Chains A and B, each alone.
Chain A
Amino acid sequence: MNVASQNTLPLNSAVAETDFDVEAIRRDFPVLHQEINGHPLAYLDNAASSQRPQSVIDAVRYYEEHDHANVHRGVHTLSQRATDAYEGGREKIRAFINAESNQEIIYVRGATEAINLVAQSYGRSRMQAGDEIVITTMEHHSNIVPWQLLAEQTGVRLRVIPITRRGELELEAVDELLNERTRLLSVVYISNALGTINPVKTLIDKAHSRGIPVMLDAAQAAPHTRIDVQALDCDFLAMSGHKMYGPTGIGILYGKRSLLEAMPPYQGGGEMILAVNFERSVYNELPYKFEAGTPNISGAIGLGAAVDYLQAIGLERISRYEHKLLRYATEKLESIPELKIVGTAREKASVISFTVDGVHPHDLGTIVDSEGVAIRTGHHCAMPVMEFFGVPATARASFAFYNTTAEIDALANALQTALGVLR
């Protein structure tokens, strides 16, 4: 029995069509077909977590029903099937981001753990007081706090690339901030709070010309844009499964093999060792050195299925369609005089943060939900961004390729309801 092929379930006809047939795509996502408070669900909170296509749900379920056992442990059939499916997922992800080797693909819980792993393993073993790490004002807390923890442990200093009122990086500041003390540049690829697509290739080239390695937080980028780690030449890259139509609790750290090989383990335990005695242990080879303990096997299989799904549609088509949604939504929302968009970068993904005069974002969230529209409200785990724009919070609509212009209309109508209720 070939388990890997069992997990590559046939996709529906939507995928084969040349035009982007959003209605066919929507049929792949069971959760979308429900009413919320008497209105059709308009799920516009994809930057927080995206929904799962049936093929992902089926792949996880198939594994649970037929193949579950621990991986890399047993000689029995189920253990072999589970291992094949788990490692099959790794190969799919390798191909998805065009990494050179499966050994560079580390399964983690999510982008947050990926960054913590690099901070604690790479950072702690190589950095000392006086060294500097450069991040940006638009980072998610997950690309700020791990470095602050490292700073407390080692005395490294955190330096921050400022942003403009549009929500773009101040590139002139980069040349000054990257200096002989810089040990790492860690940058978000696409901002979850602003939608800004950062010029990561330019940043990587600038850093590399000074011998500085670069980590990319690609949690938001992975579902929206084609990532090629070899073309980008990034040194580390973090992704979260649940933001790219896969399960929660699974993510990826990509790292260049030479860097990963030189790094000490992040956690100790089973799987990550070759031999243990009470004097010393011999660590396992990559990628297992960084995968202590029984991993999230079903999550990895689900993520592999999500990657299959995305590949079958094509990231280029997804980007094009989402860009149309972004343009439509931007025009629609800008036509509401009380509404102000926060984050107007020239290069943007399908994320719109906004405020509405006289209506707090929290009230907006509740009121639009009463019409079936799900948006995020709050600081989006990016408090420095909120502080920069002088707002305590924003409302945020984030679009996936299964969203429609009708759903954007529903959002605009619900915002009018909010204005009616509260002003």
Chain B
Amino acid sequence: MDLRELYQDIIVDHNRSPRNFRVPEHYDRMADGFNPLCGDKLHVYLSVDDNRVTDVSFQGSGCAISVASASLMTEAVKGLTEQEARALFEDVHKALTGDEDAVDLERLGKLAAISGVRAFPSRVKCASLCWHTLTAALDQQDTAVSTE
């Protein structure tokens, strides 16, 4: 078990200084995510213009994996269309849950760093919470999502 597979420099960096970690003055859509097992709570805020994510930010508290994953997600999703953002989650999900051949890690860019959780099944939910919350925001669900 190699801890550095999980806690790569980029993860540590994004946990220490999360990007887009703010409540924006204006946003179009918002969703809450909650992992009752570890108490992680995230809020994802979206601005969407003509089917394109023009701004995305988050707030909340969580473990290094969940905070870094959310931070990396906001960087990756900004500028994508809704469809592209959802497709990206599918790729990320594959990267998190195992099937190495099924996903092109290079195409994921920096997001590939989060794929280290593959070796730590109990931590997959930490990494995917932000993505579930993003999906809920895209769906404009009003209710909080949960990993359970």
Contacts and interface: CB of A to CB of B under 8 A. Distances in A.
A and B are interacting partners: yes
A363 interface: yes
29 contacts: A38-B1, A359-B64, A360-B38, A360-B63, A362-B40, A362-B62, A362-B65, A362-B123, A363-B7, A363-B64, A363-B65, A366-B120, A366-B122, A366-B123, A369-B1, A370-B1, A377-B38, A378-B37, A378-B38, A392-B38, A392-B40, A393-B39, A417-B3, A421-B3, A421-B12, A422-B7, A422-B15, A422-B64, A423-B16
Interface in B7-28: 7, 12, 15-16
A386 interface: yes
Contacts of A421: 3, 7, 12
Interface string B117-138: 0001011001000000000000
Interface residues of A, number: 21
Interface in A359-404: 359-363, 366-367, 369-370, 377-379, 386, 392-393
B92 interface: no
A342 to B, nearest CB: 13
Contacts of B43: none
A36 B123 CA distance: 18
Given A422-B15, A422-B64, A362 B38 contact: yes
Contacts, number: 52
B interface, size bucket: 20 to 34
Interface of B: 1, 3, 6-7, 12, 15-16, 37-41, 61-65, 120, 122-123, 126
B107 to A, nearest CB: 27
B127 to A, nearest CB: 11
A80 B123 CA distance: 49
Contacts of A370: 1, 3
A164 interface: no
B8 to A, nearest CB: 10
Contact of A386 (B1, B3, B39, B123): B39
A179 interface: no
Nearest to A417: B3
A392 B41 contact: yes
**Most chain B CB neighbours (cut-off 10 Å) among A38, A367, A369, A393:** A393
Identify the interface centre among A38, A363, A392, A421: most chain B CB within 10 Å of its CB.
Answer: A363
A360 B68 CA distance: 12
Contacts of B64: 359-360, 363, 422
B1 A37 contact: yes
Nearest to A39: B1
Nearest to A364: B63
Nearest to B39: A392
Interface string A333-365: 000000000000000000000000001111100
